[in-house]
C-alpha cells in the first residue's frame, strides 16, 4: 500500500488510541494559547470516554514537573506512563500495551508540539503506526516551534485534524446512541 493510500483510510471502529502528552501544570503555564488547548484536550477526553476508546497519558519527569492537571485526567480507563526520555515511543510498556490492544492509529494531543510530541510521533511513524495530530489540542511555548514541528511531522506521514473533526470521525454516525452526548461536548 502506498503512503498516500494508507493515509486516506478512515479510522477503524477500534484500534485507535488517544495519546495525551505531558499536560502538566509547570509545562502548560507557559504554553501559547493554553486555555484553548486545555479545553480541546478536555473535549477529546470526554468524547473518548463516551465512545469507550483507549486513552494513554504521559508525564515528563513528574517529580520535577508535577502530575497531569487533574481536570485533564480521564475519570477511568486510561494508562498513565511516566518518562524521562522525550519520546513516549521508547517506553516498552507503552509499545506492549499498543500491541496487546491491536492499536494501529494514534490520535495525539498535548504539549509541547516541537519536543515530546514531535519525537514521539516521528518514532511512532517509523514503527508503522498511523498518527493523527489534533492541531488545536497541542501547542508549544512559541507558535513558530508548533508550526514548524507540524510541518516536519506531516512531511514524515502524520495526518492533521482538529478536535471537532476527529470526534465526529470517531462517532461515525448521528444514529449512534452516544451521539447526543457527543454533540453536547462539541457545542459546550
Average pLDDT value for the chain: 90
- CATH for the stretch 14-187: 3.40.50.850
Distance (Å, whole) CA 164 – CA 134: 9
Close Cβ partners of 23 (under 8 Å, ≥ 6 residues apart): 38, 41, 57, 68, 69, 72, 110, 111
pLDDT per residue as tens digits for the range 4-50: 444 445 565 568 999 999 999 899 988 999 999 999 999 999 999 88
Q: How confident is the model at residue 2 (pLDDT cuts 50, 70, 90)?
A: very low
Instruction: Record the cell numbers describing residue 40, joined without a space.
Output: 480541546
- Taking every pair of C-alpha atoms in the chain, what is the biggest distance, in angstroms? 46
pLDDT of 72-85, one tens digit each? Answer: 999 888 999 999 99
Angle CA 29–44–142, to nearest 5: 35
Per the structure block, which three cell numbers stand in for 73? 485526567
- 109-127 per-position pLDDT tens digit: 999 999 999 999 999 999 9
pLDDT higher than threshold 60 for residue 70: yes
- Region 66-95: mean pLDDT is 94
CB-CB neighbours of 77 under 10 Å: 11
pTM metric for this prediction: 0.90
Amino acid at each position: 500500500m502506498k503512503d498516500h493510500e494508507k493515509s486516506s483510510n478512515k479510522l477503524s471502529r477500534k484500534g485507535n488510541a488517544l495519546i495525551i502528552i505531558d499536560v502538566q501544570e509547570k509545562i502548560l503555564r507557559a504554553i501559547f494559547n493554553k486555555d484553548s488547548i486545555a479545553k480541546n484536550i478536555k473535549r477529546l477526553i470526554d468524547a473518548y470516554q463516551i465512545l469507550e476508546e483507549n486513552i494513554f497519558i504521559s508525564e515528563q519527569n513528574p517529580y520535577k514537573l508535577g502530575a497531569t492537571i487533574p481536570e485533564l485526567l480521564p475519570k477511568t480507563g486510561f494508562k498513565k506512563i511516566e518518562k524521562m526520555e522525550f519520546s513516549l515511543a521508547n517506553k516498552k510498556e507503552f509499545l506492549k500495551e499498543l500491541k496487546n490492544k491491536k492499536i494501529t492509529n494514534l490520535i495525539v494531543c498535548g504539549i509541547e508540539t516541537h519536543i515530546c510530541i514531535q519525537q514521539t510521533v516521528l518514532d511512532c511513524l517509523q514503527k508503522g503506526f498511523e498518527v493523527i495530530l489534533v492541531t488545536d489540542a497541542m501547542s508549544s511555548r512559541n507558535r513558530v516551534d508548533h508550526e514548524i514541528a507540524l510541518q516536519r511531522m506531516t512531511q514524515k506521514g502524520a495526518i492533521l485534524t482538529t478536535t471537532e473533526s476527529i470526534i465526529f470521525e470517531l462517532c461515525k454516525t448521528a444514529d449512534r446512541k452516544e451521539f447526543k452526548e457527543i454533540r453536547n461536548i462539541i457545542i459546550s
